[in-house]
Chain A
Amino acid sequence: MSSADARRLSLILLFAPFFLWIAVLIVLPQLGIVGVSLREKIGPGEYVFGLANYSDFLGQPIYWNTLLRTAVMSILVTALALLVGFPVAYYIAKIAHRRSRTALFLLCLVPLWVSDLVRAFGWIILLRETGVVSTVLQATGLVSGPVELLYNDATVVVGLVYTVVLFMIVPLVSTLDGMDDSLIEAGLNLGGSRLTVFRRIVVPYAMPGIVAGCIIVFMMTAGSYLTPVLLGGKNSMWFTEQIYNQFITRYNWEAGATFGVLLLAFTSIVVWVGLRLTGQNLASTVATR
C-alpha cells in the first residue's frame, strides 16, 4: 500500500469513532428531543406532530415565569461572578510573585474538583436554622433566636456564584497572563490615570477572556440543579428543576423535552445577544479556550 493510501486509511479509521461519537451521542439525541417536543399525545400510543407542547408552555404562566426568573438570576449571577472574580484573577495573573502564583492557582482549582453536592451540603450546614452561622450569631447575642438563612433568593445567588466563580477566574487568568506589563507602563507614561488605564487598556485586552468566562458561567448557572434546589427549597423555582419534574415525577417526556429545548434555545439567544452587544463572535472566544 502506498504511503498516501495508508494515510487516507488511517484518516478514515480515526474519523469514524469521532463521527460516531458526535453523531450518535450529541447531534442525533439533540434532534431527538426537538422531535419529541413536537409530539402531542392524543391517546394511548397515539402521537401527532404539532406545537401543542409549546402552546401549553406559554399558556401556563408559572412555567414561563420560572424560565424568565432563571434567566434573569443567571445573568445576575454571571455579572456578580465577573465582579467578584476579576480582582482575584487580576491578582493571580499580574500581581502575585511567580512562586505564589502556581500555589494560588492550585488553591483555586481544588474546590472545582469537589462535587456540587458537597459544596451545597457545606452551605446548608453553614446557613440553616441549626447551622453554624445561626449558632454563632445567637452565641454573640446579635440575634435572639435561630435564624433561617436558607430558602431565599439571596442565598441561592450566593451559592451559585460560589459554584461558578472559579470557572470565571480560570479563563480570565489565562487571558490576563498574556498581557505584557509594558502596556500598562505605556498607558501611565502617556498620561493616563490608573482608572483610565484600567478601563481603556486592561479591560479591552481581557475582553475575550471575559466573554469566554461569561458564556461558560451563564450556561452553567442556567443548567445547574443542586445548588438552587437544595439552597432554595420548595420555592426555588428554577427551570432545570421543572425539567427533572416532568421527566422523573410526572413521566411527561413530551413536556420535559419541550422544556429542555426551550432552555437550550433561550440560553443560546441570551449568549448570542451578549456576544453582539460586546462585539465579539463565537469563533474568537472558542479559540481562546
Chain B
Amino acid sequence: MTMNVAAPQSPLLRWIYRGYLLAFFVYLAAPLLVAGLFAFNDSQFPSLPWQGWTLDWFFGEADPKVGLFHDRRLIEGLATSFKVGLVVSALSVLAGMGNAFLFERYDFPGKRYLYVLMVVPLVIPGVIVGISILVFASTIANGVEDALGWDWSLLRPGLPLVVLGQFSFLTTITSLVIAARLRKFDIALEEAALNLGAGRGRVLATITIPYLMPALVSAFIVAFLVSFENFNTTLMLVGSEAPLTITMYDRVAKVGSTPVLNAVSFVLMVGSGVLALLSVIVQRDPKRGTDD
C-alpha cells in the first residue's frame, strides 16, 4: 500500500481526523434526518416522544391529521413550484445555450469584461436581485399605466415576474454548465460533417446538439432544483399564487405547525436527491473501446 504523503502520519492524528470527518457528516445530516424522520411520527408535534410510525402526514384526509397530499394550499404550492420551475429552466437552458456558443465560438471587443458581467448575477444577494427587478418592473408598469391607462399585469408581482427574477441568475448557471461542455468539443467533427455535405443547420442538429445533450439535461435539472428551492428572490416578486417555499414559510413561522411540513421536507429531499443524482449520471463519459 503506497504511503499517502498528504495524510497525517501518526495513527492518533489519523483517528482524530477521521473522527472529525464523521462528526462533520453527522452535523450535515442531522437537521435533514430529523426533518424527514418526524414525517412518520404519529404525533401532533414534530418532536419526541416517538409515538409510532404512520403515513398519515402524507395521505391523511381528516382533521387534525391532514396529510400533504390532501392539503390544498400545499398541493397548490407544489404545482406552482413545478410550473415555475419547468418554465424558467427551459428558458434559461435556451438562453444558456446561446451564451455558451457566444463565448466559446466568437471573439468580440470587451469579451473578458462581459464574461465577468455574466457571472455577476450569481454573486449579488438574492434579495437584491428581487428588489431591483420589482422596482424596475413597477416603474415601467406605472409609466405605462400613466401614459396609456393600461395596467400591464405581467409586470406586477406575480408568477411572470417570479420567472423573470429567477431567470436572471439561473441563466448564469446554465451558461457556465453548457459552456464547459462546449469547450471540450472537437471542431473537426463539425468540419467532417460539412465535408460530407451537411448544411450548417444540419451540422448543429445532428452533431453539435447531440454532443451537448448531457450538459443541456444537467443544466435543466440544476436550474429546476435551484428554482424550486429559491426563497429570497421569489419572496419579493410573488403575487397571489405562491410556490411551495413561500407557502411553507408561512406555516413554519406560525407556532404549532403540524408534521405535514416534515412530510413536505421529506418529499423535497428525496426529490432533490434523485434529480441531483440524475444530473451527475447524465454527464459521465461512456467507456473507451479496445485497442489493436
Contacts of B49 in A (CB 8 A): 135
A196 at interface by CB-CB < 8 Å: no
Q: A121-B35, A184-B5, A260-B127 are in contact. Are A25 and B108 (CB under 8 A)?
A: no
The answer to whether B5 and A132 have CB atoms under 8 Å apart is: no
Contacts of B269 in A (CB 8 A): 114, 118
In the complex, what distance in Å separates the CA atom of A130 from the CA atom of B44?
12
The answer to whether B276 and A125 have CB atoms under 8 Å apart is: no
Q: A18-B102, A121-B265 are in contact. Are A240 and B127 (CB under 8 A)?
A: yes
The answer to whether A118 and B268 have CB atoms under 8 Å apart is: yes
| CB nearest to A88 among chain B residues | B24
In the complex, what distance in Å separates the CA atom of A253 from the CA atom of B33?
40
In the complex, what distance in Å separates the CA atom of A75 from the CA atom of B101?
38
The answer to whether A223 and B21 have CB atoms under 8 Å apart is: no
B66 at interface by CB-CB < 8 Å: no
Contacts of A132 in B (CB 8 A): 34, 47-48
Q: A87-B20, A116-B229 are in contact. Are A30 and B108 (CB under 8 A)?
A: no
Q: Considering only CB atoms and an 8 Å cut-off, how many residues of chain B contact the other chain?
A: 85
In the complex, what distance in Å separates the CA atom of A123 from the CA atom of B127?
23
The answer to whether B128 and A263 have CB atoms under 8 Å apart is: yes
In the complex, what distance in Å separates the CA atom of A289 from the CA atom of B180?
11
In the complex, what distance in Å separates the CA atom of A230 from the CA atom of B117?
33
Q: Is the interface of A mostly helix, strand, loop or mixed?
A: helix
Nearest CB of chain A from residue B102's CB, rounded to whole Å: 4
A11 is contacted by which of B21, B47, B108, B171 (Cβ under 8 Å)? B108
| CB nearest to A185 among chain B residues | B5
A55-63, A104-112, A272-280 - interface stretch: A104-112
Contacts of B112 in A (CB 8 A): 283
Contacts of B114 in A (CB 8 A): 18, 22
The answer to whether B128 and A223 have CB atoms under 8 Å apart is: yes
Mask: chain A, 221-240; 1 = CB below 8 Å from B; 0 = not:
01111100010000000001
Contacts of B164 in A (CB 8 A): 25
- Which of B121, B249, B253 has most chain A Cβ within 10 Å? B249
Mask: chain A, 118-136; 1 = CB below 8 Å from B; 0 = not:
1111111110101110011
B272 at interface by CB-CB < 8 Å: yes
| CB nearest to B49 among chain A residues | A135
Mask: chain B, 36-63; 1 = CB below 8 Å from A; 0 = not:
0010000001111100000000000000
In the complex, what distance in Å separates the CA atom of A94 from the CA atom of B200?
45
A144 at interface by CB-CB < 8 Å: no
B89 at interface by CB-CB < 8 Å: no
A117 is contacted by which of B32, B200, B229 (Cβ under 8 Å)? B229
| CB nearest to A3 among chain B residues | B200
Nearest CB of chain B from residue A11's CB, rounded to whole Å: 5
B131 at interface by CB-CB < 8 Å: yes
The answer to whether B127 and A243 have CB atoms under 8 Å apart is: yes
In the complex, what distance in Å separates the CA atom of A113 from the CA atom of B106?
34
A264 is contacted by which of B21, B95, B128, B261 (Cβ under 8 Å)? B128
The answer to whether B4 and A95 have CB atoms under 8 Å apart is: yes
Contacts of B268 in A (CB 8 A): 114-115, 118
25 A-B interface contacts by CB (under 8 A): A14-B99, A14-B101, A15-B108, A18-B99, A18-B114, A32-B135, A33-B135, A90-B6, A91-B17, A91-B21, A94-B7, A111-B29, A113-B229, A117-B231, A118-B32, A121-B35, A132-B34, A184-B5, A185-B5, A219-B123, A220-B125, A240-B127, A256-B131, A283-B112, A289-B176
Closest 5 CB pairs of A and B: A223-B125, A122-B31, A115-B229, A29-B132, A122-B35
Q: Which residues of B contact A (CB under 8 A)?
A: 4-9, 17, 20-21, 24-25, 27-35, 38, 45-49, 95, 98-99, 101-102, 106, 108, 112, 114-121, 123-129, 131-136, 139, 164, 167-168, 171, 176, 200, 225, 228-229, 231-232, 235-236, 245, 248-249, 252-253, 261-262, 265, 268-269, 272-273, 275-277, 280
